[in-house]
């Protein structure tokens, strides 16, 4: 039974029993304490806490999850994985143990021909919490499991809570007996390798207060409504139903693993180390694909760093398997999209964008590997010069932390050089970094308090703040909530910084790339709140952030809200222009040019999109010309609400990684652009006036940014450009259209003049070569030349002079030392003839002597070496030190 069929049967079973099927939430968690959704119940947490009203009392889902605390164990065992899918059924104050237990048993034991999973009844064992007689009795008397297959366990195994004050309760786990070949008899308490957990049923029945650990907490009392939360790992179920030993041999992961083996020439099952790498690649490619599909981009912090680490571990393990070429990740990502696409069709629709992001990260990391290898080689040289055989932990950590160089690669390359690595020092520094990260995360953790306060504000607004800003720029309202320093208050005086909630508002909350409105709220009691920012921290809640300018704001006051109309109009022009530029780039570059972010400011906007490389200037010009032609057509701009399915059917663009409900708002600009959007827009395209694209640049692997002006700001920019061009034309004594050619000619002549000056300067430097050779000093039978070139002489000229003088002295044992100060920092070059090398004199060693005196370092070959330092005043001392070293040889 394939994985997609396991998920389909699970959802269909519970849908037939009155459960609402809830689509998987994005991997980007709404919970501010989580980077990523790491459990099936996370999207349902507000319902369990009573903070939001659930869409139904009975729900079921297949939730995408990513869990990374044990990422280093992935591949080493057959149990650990970063991405997994959790099947769950949920009851919010509806059925409890008496319903959840029989449902689970029925689905597991119903024959596959009748829509179940077909588990033999005598293969199933269950555990219950040690004091949960009720669950044990249901399993025995209602379901019919013999008492000897019902085992009781303590808090550590069979009690669930969220780790913070809130709901908790005992749980009952269902295990499948894989047979004696997997371990000893005795049930789950004896061997959890043989008896494999397949389903966990959590019975939320208690309100917990203080929670100190998994097994140490206080029970405040019973919950007002009892809830059910269950979790069944799809990958583990698939392994059992497909008759394979572990999750890596199930259909979705095995296809990626086999393709990785084919591309690298590895054979799964032959070599333990290769098997580990193949499992890492299979898991991480799938995880990375799913994360990119949810709008996450590789970065150096937060969830972006998680994604980057996952992708780079994939690339690194492909290298270990022998895959040195670029493009391997593209091949494997295609397999991941194909295998997961049946369950998640958006993967197929967004395949071009997913490939662009992952391909760019692969290219970037391969470049990182090249850079890191050069840094590694330098570290090896420094270690050897110091007479050591162990690469310091600080160097290994720097390679890892600064250059993204994996520690296992450092270990491998060090071994190839006959060196070891101070792993203990590296692990210590890593542990310190993790501890800092934990402290930072703890500092950011808000628990449930802040959410509860915000939820109280939402309740005060009647469950939802009515946004009237599409039709109105002013409006009457009532002040239903105030926060000062995050705490709810009834009143706030003059000068107080507040967060104010109205029951209805024309103010647009920042979102979808559009900046928030600004303006004022005038209260019935005479107070005025100057609104500087507007946010929506919870769905349906709009919070106005600002300062009480005069009077005292009091909850319950009548209010009159006024937005800054000119600012709104300017921002709306920018937002409509962003839609049109997006459409223009998709026409020019194809569907892979998917929006990856935007910011719509008054008169100016930026638009980020996925692209494999820089956009040619000709494309920028064509898009700009096309967009302005559409503006001249003065197309009608229309916004309307419809279902998500209907919007997609009509070709409306859904922004990559955005979350949408069942009903969506579509914004059309004639037939030119059609996108899902909640922002504000102009009424006709002609109101934009003019769009001027300023240029484009890279902001990360696979993501480009275009910046542009719109309206009067674009006109002012072009007016300034026109004045500048007129001034240049006057100075160059040329017509405007002749300027490019005329300026190009001037620049070409300047470059030629610079080359001629450089040639003359080099000739002047080299002119002294003969006299330097003739004036060589005899130092212990070795001809020694020490010369300081004029300040400003380049390093290349210093090398050429040293080589020229050495050539004139080639018949003798000779050492030539040339120094100079090109850019405030001294440089030294040493050239040694073959006769001098036979006497044991080496350029690299002599440069080291000079560099030490200069306060720096250097190196090179035995015949020619270069170094430098920071103390220009020590050039004479450096020259004397080298001369002494020559005399002592």
Q: Which residues are annotated as a binding site for Zn(2+)?
A: 575, 579, 677, 681
Distance separating alpha carbons of residues 605 and 619, to the nearest angstrom: 19
With 0-12 / 13-18 / 19 or more C-beta atoms within 10 angstroms meaning exposed / middle / buried, residue 691 is: buried
Total count of residues recorded for the chain: 889
List the structure tokens of 248: 């890596």
Give the Å distances, CA to CA, from 283 to 62, 71, 193: 18, 10, 21
Pairing relation of β-strands 814-820 and 782-788?
parallel
CB atoms within 10 A of CB 224: 8
Distance separating alpha carbons of residues 633 and 460, to the nearest angstrom: 47
User: Is-contact 562 476, C-beta < 8 A?
Assistant: no
User: Is-contact 611 586, C-beta < 8 A?
Assistant: no
Residue stretches of the annotated binding site: 575, 579, 677, 681
User: Is-contact 798 819, C-beta < 8 A?
Assistant: yes
839-843 long-range contacts, Cβ below 8 Å, gap at least 24? 839/782, 839/813, 839/889, 840/889, 841/782, 841/813, 841/815, 841/886, 841/889
Return the closest-CA partner of residue 29 out of 16, 17, 21, 39: 39
**What is the 3-class SS of 338-374, one letter each residue?**
HHHCCCCCHHHHCHHHHHHHHHHHHHHHHHHHHHHHH
List the structure tokens of 809: 């002295």
Longest Cα–Cα distance of the chain, Å, equals: 110
* Chain CA centroid to CA 410, Å: 24
**Which residues are CB-neighbours of 569 under 8 A, at least 6 positions away?**
682
Distance separating alpha carbons of residues 869 and 872, to the nearest angstrom: 8
User: Is-contact 61 232, C-beta < 8 A?
Assistant: no
Return the closest-CA partner of residue 694 out of 617, 585, 611, 806: 617
DSSP 8-state symbol, 26: P
Distance separating alpha carbons of residues 829 and 105, to the nearest angstrom: 82
Pairing relation of β-strands 195-211 and 217-233?
antiparallel
User: Is-contact 619 588, C-beta < 8 A?
Assistant: yes
List the structure tokens of 331: 């091949």
List the structure tokens of 115: 């829509």
Straight-line distance from the first to the last Cα atom of the chain, in angstroms, rounded to the nearest whole number:
80
User: Is-contact 480 504, C-beta < 8 A?
Assistant: no
Return the closest-CA partner of residue 164 out of 206, 210, 205: 210
């Amino acid at each position: 039974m394939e994985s997609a069929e396991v998920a389909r049967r699970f959802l269909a079973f519970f849908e037939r029993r009155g459960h609402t099927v809830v689509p998987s939430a994005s991997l980007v968690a709404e919970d501010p304490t989580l980077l990523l959704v790491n459990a099936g119940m996370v999207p349902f947490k507000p319902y369990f806490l009573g903070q939001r009203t659930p869409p139904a009392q009975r729900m079921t889902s297949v939730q995408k999850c990513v869990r990374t605390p044990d990422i280093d164990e992935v591949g080493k065992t057959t149990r650990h994985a970063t991405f997994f899918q959790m099947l769950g059924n949920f009851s919010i104050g509806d059925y409890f143990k008496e319903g959840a237990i029989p449902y689970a048993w029925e689905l597991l034991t119903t024959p596959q021909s009748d829509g179940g999973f077909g588990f033999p009844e005598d293969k199933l064992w269950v555990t219950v919490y040690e004091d949960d007689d009720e669950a044990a009795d249901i399993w025995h008397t209602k379901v019919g499991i013999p008492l000897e297959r019902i085992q009781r366990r303590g808090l550590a195994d069979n009690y669930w809570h969220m780790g913070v004050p809130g709901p908790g309760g005992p749980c009952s786990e269902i295990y499948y007996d894989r047979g004696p070949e997997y371990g000893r008899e005795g049930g789950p308490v004896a061997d959890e390798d043989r008896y494999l957990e397949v389903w966990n049923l959590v019975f939320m029945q208690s309100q917990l207060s203080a929670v100190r650990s998994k097994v140490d907490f206080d029970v405040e009392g019973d919950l007002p409504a009892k809830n059910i939360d269950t979790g069944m790992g799809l990958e583990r179920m698939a392994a059992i139903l497909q008759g394979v030993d572990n999750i890596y041999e199930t259909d979705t992961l095995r296809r990626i693993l086999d393709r990785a083996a084919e591309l690298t020439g590895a054979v799964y099952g032959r070599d333990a180390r290769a098997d580990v790498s193949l499992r890492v690649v299979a898991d991480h490619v799938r995880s990375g694909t799913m994360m990119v599909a949810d709008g996450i981009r590789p970065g150096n912090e937060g969830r972006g760093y998680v994604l980057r680490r996952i992708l780079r571990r994939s690339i690194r393990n492909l290298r270990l398997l022998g895959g040195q070429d670029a493009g391997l990740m593209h091949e494997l990502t295609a397999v991941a999209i194909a295998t997961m696409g049946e369950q998640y069709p958006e993967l197929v629709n967004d395949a071009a964008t997913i490939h662009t992001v992952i391909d760019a990260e692969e290219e970037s990391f391969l470049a990182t590997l090249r850079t890191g290898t050069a840094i590694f080689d330098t570290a090896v040289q420094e270690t050897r010069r110091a007479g050591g055989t162990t690469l310091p932990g600080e160097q290994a950590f720097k390679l890892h932390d600064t250059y993204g160089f994996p520690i296992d690669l450092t270990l491998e390359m060090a071994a190839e050089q006959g060196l070891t690595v101070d792993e203990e020092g590296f692990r210590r520094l890593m542990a310190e970094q993790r501890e800092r990260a934990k402290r930072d995360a703890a500092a950011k953790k808000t628990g449930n308090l802040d959410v509860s306060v915000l939820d109280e504000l939402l309740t005060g607004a009647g469950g939802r703040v009515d946004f009237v800003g599409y039709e109105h720029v002013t409006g009457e309202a009532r002040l239903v909530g105030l926060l000062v320093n995050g705490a709810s208050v009834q009143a706030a005086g003059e000068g107080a910084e507040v967060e104010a909630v109205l029951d209805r508002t024309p103010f647009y909350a920042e979102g979808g790339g559009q900046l928030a409105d600004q303006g004022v709220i005038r209260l019935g009691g005479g107070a005025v709140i100057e609104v500087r920012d507007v946010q929506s921290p919870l769905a349906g809640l709009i919070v106005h952030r600002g300062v009480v300018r005069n009077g005292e704001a009091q909850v319950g006051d009548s209010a009159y809200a006024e937005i800054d109309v000119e600012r709104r109009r300017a921002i709306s022009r920018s937002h409509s222009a962003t839609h049109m530029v997006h459409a223009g780039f998709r026409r020019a570059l194809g569907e892979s040019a998917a929006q990856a972010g935007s910011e719509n400011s008054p008169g100016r906007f930026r638009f980020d999109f996925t692209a494999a490389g820089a956009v040619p200037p000709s494309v920028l010009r064509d898009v700009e010309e096309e967009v302005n032609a559409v503006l001249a057509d003065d197309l009608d701009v229309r916004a309307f609400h419809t279902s998500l399915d209907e919007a997609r059917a009509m070709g409306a663009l859904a922004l990559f990684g955005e979350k949408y409900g069942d009903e969506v708002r579509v914004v059309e600009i004639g037939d030119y652009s059609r996108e899902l959007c909640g922002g504000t827009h102009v009424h006709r395209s002609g109101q934009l006036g003019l769009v001027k694209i300023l240029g484009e640049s890279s902001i990360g692997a696979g993501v480009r940014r275009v910046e542009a002006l719109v309206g009067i700001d674009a006109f002012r920019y072009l007016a300034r450009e026109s004045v500048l061009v007129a001034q240049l034309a006057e100075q160059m004594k040329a017509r405007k259209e002749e300027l490019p050619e005329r300026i190009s000619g001037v620049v070409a002549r300047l470059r030629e003049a610079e080359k001629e000056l450089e040639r003359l300067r080099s000739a002047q430097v080299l002119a002294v070569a003969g006299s330097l050779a003739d004036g060589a000093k005899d130092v212990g039978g070795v001809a020694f030349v020490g010369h300081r070139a004029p300040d400003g002489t380049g390093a290349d000229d210093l090398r050429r002079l040293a080589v020229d003088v050495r050539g004139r002295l080639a018949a003798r044992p000779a050492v030539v030392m040339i120094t100079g100060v090109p850019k405030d920092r001294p440089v030294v070059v040493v050239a040694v003839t073959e006769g001098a090398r036979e006497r044991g004199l080496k350029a690299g060693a002599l440069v080291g002597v000079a560099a030490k005196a200069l306060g720096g370092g250097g190196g090179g070959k035995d015949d020619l070496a270069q170094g430098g330092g920071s103390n220009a005043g020590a050039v004479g001392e450096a020259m004397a030190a080298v001369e002494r070293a020559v005399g002592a040889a």
